[in-house]
Structure 1
Amino acid sequence: MSATQPWLAFLESNTTGTGREFCVMARARGLRPVLLTRDPDRYPYVAELGIDTVVLDTGDEAAVLDACSALADGTGPAGVASSSEYFVATAARVAARLGLPAADPDAVARCRAKDAQRALLAAAGVPVPPFVPVSSPQEAVHAAGTIGHPVVLKPVSGSGSAGVRLCRSRAETAEWARTLLQRTTDERGAPTPGRILVEKAVDGPEFSVETFDDTVVAVVAKHTGATPYFVETGHDVPAPVPSGDAAALGRTALRALAALGLGWGAAHTELRWSEAGPVVIEVNPRLAGGMIPVAVASATGTDLVDAVVARAAGQDPPSPGRGAGHAAVRFVMAAGEGLVVRVEGTAAASAAPGVVVAQATAAVGRQVRITHSFQDRLGCVVATGADTGEAGRRAESAARLIRFELVEPAVPAAPAGPEEGARGR
């Protein structure tokens, strides 16, 4: 890779899955990917691919701007982007400061604060659950009493279901609010706001709508684990729902983007289908995680990772290819805690019928702890099929082939709840 090629800076990243693919796609477009990170060891693909790395405090926006300015002095700048929920706003602001392609930084920042996002959506008439931001357990209990149990408590700036919990009583609400508000840093080590969100629990199946600019690319059905948590265990593309329902979900997502001033590049909008129709749970101003982009590309032929790289670098987007029509993602979930000492079955899973990707995301030496978040996923499979059912069965069958041997925890397990040092988003 020539040092004279235009650089594309990635401000942190997903540690697995699409994080690697962003760098691969950048190189395929003649760009020099440069990872800006606080801890290169978080990213196993960096050494494998020989990615240029700049180590700095990525929570310091001025330091990020200085680093990108220094890169620009050496070669022509192409863009600044991030696939991490926690850094999309900083990436947008730095890109805009350098005159590079970017979404509206203020809109992205507003969207990252879930309470501000909800207020804007509600003011625009976009259906959202009743909600109240609070800053103490007492306020949380009072809000839940006003809204009516069951309620969902969540951080106002989180990702990957970390800290999200269903509470059915005053006692559960007070206890979980206390747990969340005792946190001082998020999964990436940044300071957390001293408030959380209390919202009415919405019954009904969960979906996501994947968009690029003002176009709906796919409506995705979501599988989640047992309550009171909301850990994603799989996805189906496209969602197996009537065309009218899929259209309504897409329209609601686009209304939400318009209300938030978004609609530039990729967005991932999560919704539930209530008795009254679609309800927006949250809008994420970034590409979806959880291997959804791989499933979307497999099913529809639209490569959203490549599209995001192209948009960030000011290049033409890719033309859609030929998709298989249906794809599914299934995750290998941790059944217990311990130290990973053996991983088997990825080759067999990769060779199974219809499998596009099969990978273990927990390597030997990882300490597994049950956190009721995306960290509980140890591996994943993406498979295609003639219909959603076949794709799902193939992914599930292949996922069962990936096995992890754990020994007793080397360190005491932390209590269930938001964890420090989370990996993946």
Structure 2
Amino acid sequence: MNGTAVRWFAFLESNTTGTGREFCARARARGLRPVLLTRDAARYPYVTEDAVDTLELDTSDLDAVVSACRGLAEGTGLAGITSSSEYFVADAARAAARLGLPAADGDAIARCRSKDLQRAALAAHGVPVPAWTAVSDVAAAVRAADAVGHPVVLKPVSGSGSSGVRLCRDRAETEEWARVLFGRATDERGNAVPARVLVEAAVDGPEFSVETFDGDVVTVVAKHTAPAPHFVETGHDIPAPLDAGASAELGDTALAALKALGLGWGAAHTEIRRSADGPVVIEVNPRLAGGMIPVAVRAATGTDLVDAVIARAAGLDTPPGVSVPEAGAGHAAVRFVIAAGEGRVKAVTGIREAGAAPGVVVAVPTAVVGRQVRITHSFQDRLGCVVATGSGTAQAATRAEQAAGLIGIELEEPATPEKGNGGR
């Protein structure tokens, strides 16, 4: 890296299918120079395409991260540190705090990322959550499911992107899936670790997310997911088509959850199901939403949450887009191209056509030629994404679905060519 008077802004790893690229672009727009701290820069194709500086190091070693950031600070200066990756938000906050930079409470973030600790804190403060138990072996999982009552949802205590999450309708399914989860437990580096699994009551009702910033509700998002027994997110509608009372109820529930967890600094993404008895918090994520939701929020409302995160972490003025948004289209929808088969990616087609379709603001592939596609029933099954705007929910959704259908992911044998399904 060559010398420059521009201050650095450090990103600790990145998400791979969402807004990692957007973060770097917004840092540059703020007059900062993004640098990605990573174990493997090759994981992020946008780094080369956008000429983003990188520092390769062991990003699971907080001391090494702090040392690298201190070196940046002693050079031309370091404005801030953050991460767009679920797995590194806590350490990014801890590193920033050690260097006297603006940061959320890293320990509160770490506790929040442990789903059992999060549930316990929420329940203790009267925030509605599903009945749940954390277990450490298959037999305990079956007993917990019997106590909670089927159907139940099993998920790893630590994880994101719907990885390992499954609805189990009876004891046999519970035992089978528990064996899978306990047999494949690894940490972020792929090392085997003792597993803990959350067994929780399945909550009926539509799912939403509440996007907040510094304790204020920005918008409520309606979620679309794949059919049971898995919960892969296939699309989002922004804002959710709800009346003012329902939206306010969801927003108040999210804010109560953040308060219970000692959060509220910067961005948070709270997932809630609206049951017949009212909102039930499924999960609080102490970070900006993934899945291109921030792009759709900006398109619909004019509020730029990615820029807000950069500004907050750099100690800059509160960006105007948070409190006084520019005019947006009013409504936006996200739809994903979902893998229908397995195989190596041979070609990606239709991106230009999808990008030129009515109302489309973003059309991107997340699958690159040469990638091996496997069905994992997680965010990794999403091979492309479209964000489209419209005058209403229906128009935005239709535009996004139609444009996603133009994207083709051609797989080598034994898989067959697949087309985007628009999230349906």
Q: Aligning the two structures, in what range does the TM-score lie when normalised by the shorter sequence?
A: over 0.9
Indicate which of 350, 358, 363 corresponds to 1:353.
358
Runs of 4+ in 1 over 6 A off after TM superposition: none
Partner residue, 1:333: 338
Q: Secondary structure at the match of 2:143?
A: helix
* Paired amino acid for 2:186: T
Alignment of 1:235-384 (within 5 A): 235-319=236-320, 320-384=325-389
Q: Is the 8 A contact 2:238 2:332 kept in 1?
A: yes
CA distance in 2, matches of 1:214, 1:188: 33
CA distance in 2, matches of 1:25, 1:363: 24
Q: Is the 8 A contact 1:85 1:159 kept in 2?
A: yes
Partner residue, 1:77: 78
CA distance in 2, matches of 1:23, 1:142: 47
Q: Is the 8 A contact 1:299 1:327 kept in 2?
A: yes
CA distance in 1, matches of 2:136, 2:233: 27
Question: 1:4, CA displacement in angstroms?
Answer: 2.6
Q: Secondary structure at the match of 2:344?
A: strand
1:223 aligns with 2:231: no
Number of equivalences: 410
Partner residue, 2:163: 162
CA distance in 1, matches of 2:158, 2:372: 26
1:385 aligns with 2:386: no
1:404 aligns with 2:405: no
Deviations 1:244-285 (A, max 9, x none): 111100000000000000000000000000011100000000
Q: Identify unmatched segments of 5+ residues in structure 2.
A: 416-424
Question: 1:7, CA displacement in angstroms?
Answer: 1.1
Comparing 200-209 and 61-70, the one that deviates more: 61-70
Q: Secondary structure at the match of 1:126?
A: coil
CA distance in 2, matches of 1:191, 1:6: 39
Question: 1:182, CA displacement in angstroms?
Answer: 1.7
CA distance in 2, matches of 1:168, 1:386: 40
* Paired amino acid for 1:325: G
CA distance in 2, matches of 1:268, 1:409: 38
Question: 1:179, CA displacement in angstroms?
Answer: 1.1
Q: Is the 8 A contact 2:156 2:195 kept in 1?
A: no
Alignment of 1:87-236 (within 5 A): 87-186=88-187, 188-189=189-190, 192-236=193-237
Q: Secondary structure at the match of 2:15?
A: coil
Q: Is the 8 A contact 1:349 1:401 kept in 2?
A: yes
Q: 1:30 to 1:50 in 2, by over 3 A?
A: same
Q: Secondary structure at the match of 2:163?
A: coil
* Paired amino acid for 1:182: G
CA distance in 1, matches of 2:334, 2:235: 5
Deviations 1:153-189 (A, max 9, x none): 0011100000000011111111111111122424553
Deviations 1:297-332 (A, max 9, x none): 011110000000110111113212111100000001
Q: Secondary structure at the match of 1:359?
A: strand
CA distance in 1, matches of 2:3, 2:393: 43
CA distance in 2, matches of 1:25, 1:386: 27
Q: Secondary structure at the match of 2:210?
A: strand
Question: 1:68, CA displacement in angstroms?
Answer: 1.0
Q: Is the 8 A contact 2:154 2:200 kept in 1?
A: yes
CA distance in 2, matches of 1:192, 1:219: 36
Work out the percentage of aligned pairs sharing the same amino acid: 72
Partner residue, 1:421: none
CA distance in 2, matches of 1:383, 1:282: 27
Q: Is the 8 A contact 1:158 1:186 kept in 2?
A: no
Q: Is the 8 A contact 2:332 2:393 kept in 1?
A: yes
* Paired amino acid for 2:212: T
Q: Is the 8 A contact 1:59 1:190 kept in 2?
A: no
CA distance in 1, matches of 2:193, 2:397: 37
CA distance in 1, matches of 2:282, 2:107: 21
Question: 1:347, CA displacement in angstroms?
Answer: 0.5
Comparing 5-14 and 284-293, the one that deviates more: 5-14
TM-score with structure 1 setting the length: 0.94
Deviations 1:202-227 (A, max 9, x none): 00000000000111001000000011
Question: 1:361, CA displacement in angstroms?
Answer: 1.0
Question: 1:194, CA displacement in angstroms?
Answer: 2.2
Question: 1:409, CA displacement in angstroms?
Answer: 5.3
Deviations 1:376-423 (A, max 9, x none): 01101000001000000000000000011111259xxxxxxxxxxxxx
Q: Is the 8 A contact 1:16 1:43 kept in 2?
A: no
Comparing 140-149 and 168-177, the one that deviates more: 168-177
Question: 1:31, CA displacement in angstroms?
Answer: 0.8
* Paired amino acid for 2:244: S
Question: 1:190, CA displacement in angstroms?
Answer: 6.0
Partner residue, 2:419: none
Q: Is the 8 A contact 1:367 1:409 kept in 2?
A: no
Question: 1:193, CA displacement in angstroms?
Answer: 5.0
RMSD: 1.3
Partner residue, 1:418: none
